[in-house]
Chain A
Amino acid sequence: MTIGISIALILSSALMVLLVLLHKGKGGGLTDMFGGGFASSFGGSSVVERNLDRLTVITGVVWFVCIIALGLLLKP
Chain B
Amino acid sequence: MLTALTRAFRTPDLRKKLLFTLGIIVIFRLGSVLPTPGVNTENARKALEAAQSSELSSIYGMVQLFSGGALLKLSVFALGIMPYITASIILQLLTVVIPRLEALKKEGQAGTAKITQYTRYLTIGLAVLQSTAFVALARSGQLFGTSANDLPILLNDDIFTVVVMVVTMTAGTAVIMWLGELITDRGVGNGMSILIFTQIIAVFPSELMNIFRQKGAFTFTIVMIVGIFMIAAVVFVEQAQRRIPVQYAKRMVGRRMYGGTSTYIPLKVNQAGIIPVIFASSLLYLPQLLVTLFANSQESNVVVEWIAQNFGSGDTPIYMATFFLLIVFFTYFYVSITFNPVEVADNMKKYGGFIPGIRPGRPTAEYLNYVLTRLTAPGSLYLGLISMVPIFALTLAGATQNFPFGGTSILIMVGVGLDTVKQIESQLQQRNYEGFLR
Query: Which residues of A are interface residues toward B (Cβ below 8 A)?
Result: 3, 6, 9-10, 12-14, 16-17, 20-21, 23-36, 38-39, 41, 45, 56, 60, 63, 67-68, 70-71, 73-74, 76
| B119: chain A residues within 8 A (beta carbon) | 25, 27, 29
- The reply to whether B190 and A28 contact each other, CB–CB distance below 8 Å, is yes
- The reply to whether B115 and A13 contact each other, CB–CB distance below 8 Å, is no
If A30-B89, A33-B193, A35-B419 touch, does A20 touch B175 (CB 8 Å cutoff)? yes
Q: Tell me if B369 counts as interface (CB < 8 A to partner A).
A: no
Contact with A along B259-284 (1 / 0, CB 8 A): 00000000010000111000000000
The complex places the Cα of A74 from the Cα of B175 at a distance, in Å, of 23
The complex places the Cα of A76 from the Cα of B168 at a distance, in Å, of 20
The complex places the Cα of A15 from the Cα of B218 at a distance, in Å, of 53
Q: Chain A's nearest CB lies how many Å from the CB of B387?
A: 15
Q: Can you give 13 A-B contacts (C-beta < 8 A)?
A: A6-B160, A16-B174, A20-B177, A24-B113, A25-B113, A28-B112, A33-B275, A34-B274, A36-B338, A38-B426, A67-B36, A70-B37, A74-B155
- The reply to whether A26 and B184 contact each other, CB–CB distance below 8 Å, is yes
- The reply to whether B415 and A21 contact each other, CB–CB distance below 8 Å, is no
The complex places the Cα of A24 from the Cα of B185 at a distance, in Å, of 11
| A73: chain B residues within 8 A (beta carbon) | 37
The complex places the Cα of A32 from the Cα of B418 at a distance, in Å, of 14
Number of A-B contacts (CB under 8 A): 134
The complex places the Cα of A56 from the Cα of B175 at a distance, in Å, of 9
If A25-B113, A76-B42 touch, does A17 touch B181 (CB 8 Å cutoff)? no
Contact with A along B395-421 (1 / 0, CB 8 A): 000000000000000001001101100
Max count, chain B CB within 10 A of own CB: residue among A24, A25, A71, A74: A25
| B185: chain A residues within 8 A (beta carbon) | 26, 41, 45
- The reply to whether A25 and B171 contact each other, CB–CB distance below 8 Å, is no
The complex places the Cα of A32 from the Cα of B35 at a distance, in Å, of 32
Query: Which residues of B are interface residues toward A (Cβ below 8 A)?
Result: 34-38, 40, 42, 76, 84-85, 88-89, 91-92, 112-113, 115-117, 119-121, 124, 155-156, 160-161, 163-164, 167-168, 170-171, 174-175, 177-178, 180-181, 184-185, 190-193, 238, 268, 273-275, 338, 412, 415-416, 418-419, 423, 426
| B37: chain A residues within 8 A (beta carbon) | 6, 9, 67, 70-71, 73-74
The complex places the Cα of A40 from the Cα of B12 at a distance, in Å, of 20
- The reply to whether B175 and A27 contact each other, CB–CB distance below 8 Å, is no
The 8 Å CB contact of B190, one of A10, A21, A33, A56, is: A33
| B268: chain A residues within 8 A (beta carbon) | 35
The 8 Å CB contact of B167, one of A9, A25, A30, is: A9
- The reply to whether B175 and A34 contact each other, CB–CB distance below 8 Å, is no
The complex places the Cα of A60 from the Cα of B416 at a distance, in Å, of 28
Closest to B178 in A: A20
| B112: chain A residues within 8 A (beta carbon) | 28-29, 31
- The reply to whether B124 and A21 contact each other, CB–CB distance below 8 Å, is yes
Q: Chain A's nearest CB lies how many Å from the CB of B88?
A: 4
Q: Chain B's nearest CB lies how many Å from the CB of A41?
A: 7
Q: Chain A's nearest CB lies how many Å from the CB of B270?
A: 8
- The reply to whether B40 and A67 contact each other, CB–CB distance below 8 Å, is no
| B338: chain A residues within 8 A (beta carbon) | 31, 36
| B181: chain A residues within 8 A (beta carbon) | 23, 25-27
- The reply to whether B190 and A39 contact each other, CB–CB distance below 8 Å, is yes
The complex places the Cα of A63 from the Cα of B170 at a distance, in Å, of 12
If A29-B88, A76-B40 touch, does A63 touch B171 (CB 8 Å cutoff)? yes
